[in-house]
Structure 1
Amino acid sequence: MVPGLPGTGMRLPQPASGLLHGDVSPCPTHPPWRTGYSAPPLRADMEVPVNEHDREEREQTAAGLRASHAARAESAAARAAALSRYVERRGSEHSDAVWKAAHGARVAAQALAVLSESEPDPAADSRCARNAAASAAQAAQMGQVVDGDAEASALACQAALRASLTAGVAAGAKHLGTDEQLNAEADTAEKAAVKAAETAGWIRPGEAVPSVATGVRSPEVMAMMHL
């Protein structure tokens, strides 16, 4: 007897034969054992399509960001070079400070050279600028050592450390040199470091930047630059 709705005299439709036991007729295009679809693998000779517009836009953005990072790296390298000369002239009794200032100038010059030789890349460019600023900060600390308790030197050293810190933040893992506000803050801090160095007598406005030999780029230095 086919069940119906009580009090209505209506009969419920009967399921098709075979479906009472959960049977499903096989489908020639989607067999019951096939649970999903996977695209065929790419052949070795197949090329992945590239959006030319997106690539050009990325290249333009990288080139625009490089201007900020490169200018900051060049400024920091110049500060470090001037400080190395300053410490060498005044640090006859501070041989360790002379060596550390020269080392800072050399590493800053290496960072600038690496940036100049590579294609625009915000992450790599910002790391080079960061390392140049950090090396200039090391040289600034040596400038303070040879100047003793001079207030202007202490302020210049603090400004150099701030420039290094902001450059590090701009190059941090979260933004990788692409955040315009952080880059602008690093640019401002670098300019302040230059001004403070001039006040301390470490840099003489208009004086040629001393040349610094980059020397051999050691694996340690390249690792520090993440290159």
Structure 2
Amino acid sequence: MSDPNAAAQQATSGTSGTSGTSGTSSTSTIQDAPEATLEGELRESHAARARSALVRARATCLHVGIEEHEAKLVPTGPAGTAAGAIRLSEQGLAALEERSPDPAADARCARNAAAAATLAAQIARAHDDSELSGAAHQAALAASMAAMEAAGGKALGRDPHLNARASTAEATACAAATAAGWLEP
């Protein structure tokens, strides 16, 4: 696994960019601009949640001694499953940069990263039955469920209430993982 502190800095340092149209746009471009801007904003929101969940997942795995090399195509145990889920989520996040914003796909990427973090939390919980570990595991489950709701159903990554709830749940999961000692502050 890569250094979780460096990854955390990368996850929290969002990219800033400007979007818009030149002064000589056609009517269709002007009408499409708000949709493109919204999709770009949704991309950033979903990608930020995915990065955060991956940082949390990597740190949790490292906390219990699971290394990146344990990822297997066909995992034979929980460590291989968690490391493989993280690797797949990292690949999905990297693919976001190669395609245009798609709120449904971007939300699924965040959902998959949250699910990978939940797998890691289950393993960490099995190693430590403390109250803080239990709370971190429950927070990871809640973040995964909120990400699933934001990505699924009719929302397809576009519902601002569900997206905000998923972001809040992710922040809560990070705080709980930090309190449990899985993630460094």
Q: TM-score, normalised by structure 1?
A: 0.62
Q: For residue 42 of structure 2, what is the aligned residue in structure 1?
A: 65
**Partner Cα separation in structure 1 for residue 177 and residue 89 of structure 2:** 16
Higher helix share: 2
**Partner Cα separation in structure 2 for residue 150 and residue 99 of structure 1:** 24
1:183 aligns with 2:163: yes
Q: For residue 77 of structure 1, what is the aligned residue in structure 2?
A: 54
Secondary structure of the residue that 1:51 maps to in structure 2?
helix
* Partner deviation per Cα, 1:84-137 (whole Å, 9 max, x = no partner): 211216xxxxx9343233223212212221223321111111111111111111
Q: For residue 105 of structure 2, what is the aligned residue in structure 1?
A: 124
* Identical positions, percent: 49
**Partner Cα separation in structure 2 for residue 132 and residue 157 of structure 1:** 15
Q: For residue 194 of structure 1, what is the aligned residue in structure 2?
A: 174
> Which of these residues, 116, 120, 123, is aligned with residue 142 of structure 1?
123
Could you tell me whether the CA contact under 8 Å between 1:137 and 1:164 is conserved in 2? yes
User: How many Å apart are 1:55 and its aligned residue?
Assistant: 1.9
1:154 aligns with 2:131: no
The letter for the 2-side match of 1:124 is: A
The letter for the 2-side match of 1:183 is: N
The letter for the 2-side match of 1:201 is: G
Map residues 43-58 of structure 1 onto 2, 5 A cutoff: 51-58=28-35
Give the alignment's Cα RMSD to 1 decimal: 2.1
Secondary structure of the residue that 2:64 maps to in structure 1?
helix
Could you list the structure 1 runs, at least 4 aligned residues long, displaced by more than 3 angstroms after superposition. none
User: How many Å apart are 1:162 and its aligned residue?
Assistant: 0.4
**Partner Cα separation in structure 2 for residue 161 and residue 114 of structure 1:** 25
**Partner Cα separation in structure 1 for residue 151 and residue 111 of structure 2:** 7
* Partner deviation per Cα, 1:23-69 (whole Å, 9 max, x = no partner): xxxxxxxxxxxxxxxxxxxxxxxxxxx83223222111101111210
Rg (Cα) greater in structure: 1
Could you tell me whether the CA contact under 8 Å between 1:166 and 1:185 is conserved in 2? yes
| Distance verdict in 2 for CA 1:87–1:104, change over 3 Å | farther
Number of equivalences = 152
Q: For residue 92 of structure 2, what is the aligned residue in structure 1?
A: 111
**Partner Cα separation in structure 1 for residue 149 and residue 118 of structure 2:** 15
Q: TM-score, normalised by structure 2?
A: 0.76
Unaligned ranges ≥5, structure 1 = 1-49, 90-94, 206-227
Could you tell me whether the CA contact under 8 Å between 1:76 and 1:190 is conserved in 2? yes
Q: For residue 100 of structure 1, what is the aligned residue in structure 2?
A: 81
User: How many Å apart are 1:167 and its aligned residue?
Assistant: 0.5
**Partner Cα separation in structure 1 for residue 35 and residue 111 of structure 2:** 22
